[in-house]
Structure 1
Amino acid sequence: MNRPLDGVTVVALEQAVAAPLATRNLADLGARVIKVERVGRGDFARDYDHVVHGTGAHFVWLNRGKESLAVDLKTDEGRRIVRRLVDRADVFVQNLAPGAAARLGLDAAELRAERPELVVVNLSGYGAGGPYEHRKAYDMLVQAEAGLVSITGTPATPVKTGIPTADIAAGMYCAQSVLAALLRRARTGEGATVDVSMLEATVEWMGYPLYTSMHTGEQPARMGLSHGAIAPYDAYPTRDGQILIGVQNDSGWRALVTGVLGVPDLADDPRFVTNLDRVRNRAECDALVAEQTARWSTVELDARLAAAGVPAAEVREMGEVLAHPQLRERDRWRTIGTEHARVPALLPPATFADVEARMGDVPALGQHTRALLLEAGLTAAEADDVLARGVAAQGRPPRSAADGSDGPGPLGPA
Structure 2
Amino acid sequence: MADVSGDGPLSGLVVADFSRIVAGPYCTMLLGDLGADVIKVESPAGDDTRTFVPPVRDGESTYYLAVNRNKRSIALDLADESDLAVARTLARRADVFVHNFRPGSMERYGLGYDDVASANPGVVYCAISGFGTHAGAAMPGYDLLIQAASGMMAMTGEADGPPLRAGISAIDVMTGLHSAVAVLAALNHRGRTGRGQLIEIDLLSSALSSMINQSSAYVAGGVVPQRMGNEHPSLFPYGPLPTADRELIVVAGNDRQFRILCDVLGRRDLAADPRFATVGLRNHHRDELRPELAAALASRGADEWAELLTRAGLPCGPINDVRGGVELATRLGLEPVVDVEGVPMVRNPAVYSLTPPRYRHRPPALDNAGDVVRAWLARTT
| TM-score between the two structures when normalised by the length of structure 1 | 0.87
Aligned counterpart for 1:249 among listed residues 254, 278, 293: 254
Give 1:53 shift.
2.3
Aligned counterpart for 2:91 among listed residues 86, 103, 108: 86
Partner of 1:309: 313
State the secondary structure of the residue aligned to 1:195. Answer: strand
Partner letter of residue 138 of structure 2?
Answer: H
Partner letter of residue 351 of structure 1?
Answer: V
Structure 1 segment 12-411 matched on structure 2, within 5 A: 12-39=17-44, 41-50=45-54, 51-130=56-135, 132-157=136-161, 158-258=163-263, 260-326=264-330, 329-337=333-341, 342-359=342-359, 360-377=361-378
| TM-score between the two structures when normalised by the length of structure 2 | 0.94
Partner letter of residue 347 of structure 2?
Answer: L
Unpaired runs of at least 5, structure 2: 1-5
d(CA) in 2 for partners of 1:207 and 1:289?
29
Q: Share of identical aligned residues, percent?
A: 32
Give 1:93 shift.
0.5
Partner of 2:3: none
Give 1:17 shift.
0.3
C-alpha distance after superposition, 1:303-331 (max 9, x if no partner): 01101111112100112122224565133
Partner letter of residue 362 of structure 1?
Answer: P
d(CA) in 2 for partners of 1:187 and 1:68?
31
Q: For residues 152 and 86 of structure 1, do their structure 2 counterparts lie closer, same or farther at Cα, with a shift above 3 Å needed?
A: same
d(CA) in 2 for partners of 1:154 and 1:246?
20
Contact 1:36–1:70 (8 Å) recurs in 2: yes
Give 1:239 shift.
1.9
Partner letter of residue 363 of structure 1?
Answer: P
Give 1:179 shift.
0.6
d(CA) in 2 for partners of 1:162 and 1:12?
27
More displaced 10-residue stretch of structure 1: 135-144 or 47-56: 47-56
Partner letter of residue 348 of structure 2?
Answer: P
C-alpha distance after superposition, 1:265-324 (max 9, x if no partner): 111112211112111111111111111112111110100110111111210011212222
Contact 2:339–2:345 (8 Å) recurs in 1: yes
d(CA) in 2 for partners of 1:182 and 1:47?
33
C-alpha distance after superposition, 1:105-133 (max 9, x if no partner): 10101111222111111111011112x22
C-alpha distance after superposition, 1:63-102 (max 9, x if no partner): 0010000122110011001111111111111111221111
State the secondary structure of the residue aligned to 2:60. Answer: coil
Q: For residues 235 and 52 of structure 1, do their structure 2 counterparts lie closer, same or farther at Cα, with a shift above 3 Å needed?
A: same
Unpaired runs of at least 5, structure 1: 380-414
d(CA) in 1 for partners of 2:195 and 2:158?
49
Contact 1:241–1:297 (8 Å) recurs in 2: yes
Contact 2:93–2:120 (8 Å) recurs in 1: no
State the secondary structure of the residue aligned to 1:331. Answer: coil
d(CA) in 1 for partners of 2:216 and 2:80?
49
d(CA) in 1 for partners of 2:334 and 2:219?
42
d(CA) in 1 for partners of 2:166 and 2:218?
20
Partner of 1:397: none
d(CA) in 2 for partners of 1:11 and 1:168?
19
Q: CA RMSD in A?
A: 1.6
d(CA) in 2 for partners of 1:159 and 1:99?
32
C-alpha distance after superposition, 1:30-74 (max 9, x if no partner): 0000000111x2001011015222111221110001000012211
Partner of 1:10: 15
Contact 1:5–1:31 (8 Å) recurs in 2: yes
Task: State the number of aligned residues.
Answer: 372
Moved segments of 4+, more than 4 Å: 325-328
Partner letter of residue 141 of structure 1?
Answer: L
d(CA) in 2 for partners of 1:99 and 1:313?
48
Give 1:378 shift.
8.0
Partner letter of residue 27 of structure 2?
Answer: A
State the secondary structure of the residue aligned to 2:240. Answer: strand
Contact 2:126–2:201 (8 Å) recurs in 1: yes
Q: For residues 325 and 9 of structure 1, do their structure 2 counterparts lie closer, same or farther at Cα, with a shift above 3 Å needed?
A: closer
Contact 1:256–1:310 (8 Å) recurs in 2: yes
Q: For residues 2 and 378 of structure 1, do their structure 2 counterparts lie closer, same or farther at Cα, with a shift above 3 Å needed?
A: closer
Give 1:372 shift.
1.1
Contact 1:221–1:228 (8 Å) recurs in 2: no
State the secondary structure of the residue aligned to 1:234. Answer: strand
d(CA) in 1 for partners of 2:220 and 2:96?
41
Contact 1:17–1:58 (8 Å) recurs in 2: no
